[in-house]
Amino acid sequence: MKAISEAWFCHIEVTNHCNMNCLYCSRHSRHIRPDQRFHMSLEKISLALDSLKDFPGRIGIIGGEPMLHPEFEEVCTLIKSKYPRQRMGLWTIGGKRFDSIKGLIDSTFGMVAHNPHDAEQRKVCRHQPITVAINDVVQDAELKKRLIDDCWVQRTWCPTIGDKGGFFCEVAYALDTIFDGPGGFPVEPGWWKRTPDQFKDQVDRWCGKCGMPVPIPREKLEQRREKFSPGLLKEFREKGLPGIDDVEVFDGTLTRERIEENAKSWYPGNYRGDRQEDGKNCEGRGSTIFGRN
């Protein structure tokens, strides 16, 4: 794994409310209980922005859907008081709200990642089965550790500040939310300087419950039934999480041979299959541990 400071962006999740219900959302949006939903306060957003003053990468505003934050205009004003637009990015599904405040967005964010997950996108875009937990399906302890250490999410996506603190990985943050975890690092200047040995507690706590490191085929967004590994499904039920009434149980385990074969054509980071081919995906193959890049 790489240090948090090496990430190209660090995200601030200003809200986990979303008007979509996407298959295998990296934020587990369809599985968040109502009592776990939040809008981050302006005070916390200000502290999060300040904590990243010397962060070498850029800063992303993300959700949920960020524009659902009831004070989104004030969030933009706050950002502009602290950072130039070239430093900032926005992750959004767009829509009428986006169009109505496009001037404000353009003056605040130098980059906008517009990902609508609309009907056309759902026909071709594929997501990694995040709910097939590596603890359930990979029995070889040494191989499991290597897959987690090589996880494409940690390698190519973003650390995140949420309402409960700072996390080395956006999915670890989402798991801490739905499992009522202990929270992340205190959001203070330099929290992002932590190295892999310093965030090992988050790795040990959450990575085993995640399906992102597992080389298995992705599924189109139009598929509505999530695959769940049995152990993780049991934990979701015990936590009273929503969205698990109609799921497909992924029973059994994966051999090393099957994992290595799957890895040959595995591009899980290319969730935007509507605009780029797997082989041209800038995030590369999902796995680098079998002698191929």
Divide the 293 residues of the chain into consecutive groups of 10 and give the mean pLDDT of each group: 97 97 94 98 98 98 98 98 98 96 98 92 93 98 97 96 98 98 98 98 98 96 93 98 97 96 93 83 85 58
- Give Cα separations from 144 to 150, 151, 198, 215, 266 (angstroms): 10, 10, 20, 11, 17
CB-neighbour burial class of residue 245 (10 A; exposed 0-12, middle 13-18, buried 19+): exposed
Contact assessment for residue 180 and residue 174, using Cβ atoms and an 8 Å cutoff: no
Contact assessment for residue 94 and residue 105, using Cβ atoms and an 8 Å cutoff: no
Query: What is residue 43's three-state secondary structure?
Result: helix
For residue 228, give both structure tokens.
């769940």
- Please give the pLDDT value at position 293: 46
- Closest-CA residue to 288 (of 263, 251, 268): 263
Residue 120, Cβ neighbours under 10 Å: how many? 10
- Please give the pLDDT value at position 292: 53
Look up tokens 């767009």; give the residue. Answer: 94
- Please give the pLDDT value at position 208: 98
What global pTM score does this model have? Answer: 0.96
For residue 141, give both structure tokens.
């302890």
Measured CA to CA, the distance from residue 279 to residue 182 in angstroms comes to: 39
User: What is the phi-psi region of residue 125: left when phi exceeds 0, alpha when psi lies from -120 to 50, beta otherwise?
Assistant: beta
Query: What is residue 280's three-state secondary structure?
Result: helix
What separation, in Å, do the N-terminal and C-terminal C-alpha atoms of the chain show? 16
